[in-house]
Structure 1
Amino acid sequence: MEHILQNNHYQLCDEIGRGRFGTIFRCIHLLSGQLFACKLIDKRLLSDPTDRSCLQNEPKYMSLLSPHPNILQIFHVFHHDHFLCIVLELCHPHTLLDRILPRPFPEAEAASVMKQLLEALAHCHRLRIAHRDIKPDNLLFDSANNLKVADFGSAQWFGDGRSMSGVVGTPYYVAPEVLLGGDYNEKVDVWSSGVVLYIMLSGVPPFHGESAAEIFEAVVRANLRFPPSTFRSTSPSAKDLLRKMICRDVSRRLSAEQALGHPWIQSGGEKRDLM
């Protein structure tokens, strides 16, 4: 694989992370000196058909969605008999999850992150693509601190009236309609984003369990609460947005575009009473 990269003027540097399907390296474009990220995937390790599908999905959907200021940009894809190499925009190694772990976010900071995430999802949904695995681990930041949505391996196109099905996603963040086994729409991404916002503001997920099965049961019940110990200082407007994003009734759940228009997002997370 190294010689294919060099033939295309890229040189692998140090390892900076590991994803579901491969190792991520820093790489340099030899002609310009510009730094990129390179995801190197050993196709021989992907025996599962679902994994192989994810491998094809990621570069396809990222190419369709690029460029967008809040979606990780893809530059090149190089194929080899045994390897796939994807050259991507270089971001900080720390994800949103790493930023949340030390402490909850002030509302203004959480609103700034959520606005960027919703901008990216609104763009995806306009192009009839659902991400289906929104979680803090998949949200990166560039050198200018702009949020970048990454990992489109579970993405799916829902154009021409197509519905989506299949259990994909991550326990704490997956929408209840996904777990119930029927068809669903792109608002699964809004639910997951609402869970991300809840965690940014409180430091804990809204639905708990000792195992994946227990978490799934709590998600399906969707009994959304705001414990005073963690939400005492949270504004009514932020809670209102959370209720409208983490809403079990899909017909009443906001779309990404509607969530962008919510007063809390529009005010930049300013603590003001709902009118």
Structure 2
Amino acid sequence: MATLVATPRSRALGFGIRAARTARKLGVRELARMARVSAQDLSHWESGTRVPQIEQVALLLGALRVEPVERKRLLELARNAREPNWLERTTPGISPAVSTYAEYERTATEMVNWEPFVVPGLLQTPAYAEAILAAHRLPPRVVEQQVAIRLRRREVLSRPHPLVLRLFLGEEAFRRRIAEPAVLAEQFHLLLRAAQPRNITIRVVPTGAGYHLGLYGHFVIFDFAHLPSVVHIEHIRGSAHVYDGDHVVAYRAAAEAMSALALGEQESLALIRGVIAELE
């Protein structure tokens, strides 16, 4: 019997195969018949828990008539699918990395997010997102697409079995004037509303909290019901997906250390209200 894998690359490969299949409006069994593979194997490949042979991936992509650029990307993922960690290069505009991250959010049961300087995309207002994306000098059409994607991603927080989000925000995220006061006030009001459901907790790590491992930068820990956890780290032109057990343990320890330094939930919300009062 094949060994379960579920590395970041194997999951990204599965996300890509499923996206191509749904774009063609094919069911798992229908595609399996076309590619002459078992529906069970295809299901495992799409979830990333097993890795198909290169020839099988090529056969699937041919049956789905996948475009050359995406075909090359998926075949490269298949060749290296068993490697535990993954440094992914991205390109300006809509990148496959966006889809990979969104799929982590969609399939995770819990997410621990540390953001030292900005509100994360999952909870951004359109105006706040546009202010951030403006720094990338993207075409207006691409900015509009990016904002729409961020709004759709938020559905994971209100679905029947919602994603549990533990968000740690650095106080600097509230002090840095990255947009007009009215835009910032609207954004921080959204955070107050977002903190009402019990599946979302927002805590602020004060600037004066002293040294902690979160000072090395942003990270997200995704936990899944039946798959190993993944840590996501974003860079200017790429992303790292960390799956190795020791690495995940280290990031989880960093999150717990920040939890000890952060303000309590009510204290954090009081700080946000104070910042809103200053802006308005």
- Range into which the TM-score falls when normalised by the shorter chain: under 0.3
Structure with the bigger RCO (C-alpha within 8 Å, sep 6+) is 2
What TM-score do the two structures reach when normalised by structure 1? Answer: 0.26
Query: Whose helix fraction is larger, Structure 1's or Structure 2's?
Result: 2
Greater C-alpha radius of gyration: 2
What TM-score do the two structures reach when normalised by structure 2? Answer: 0.25
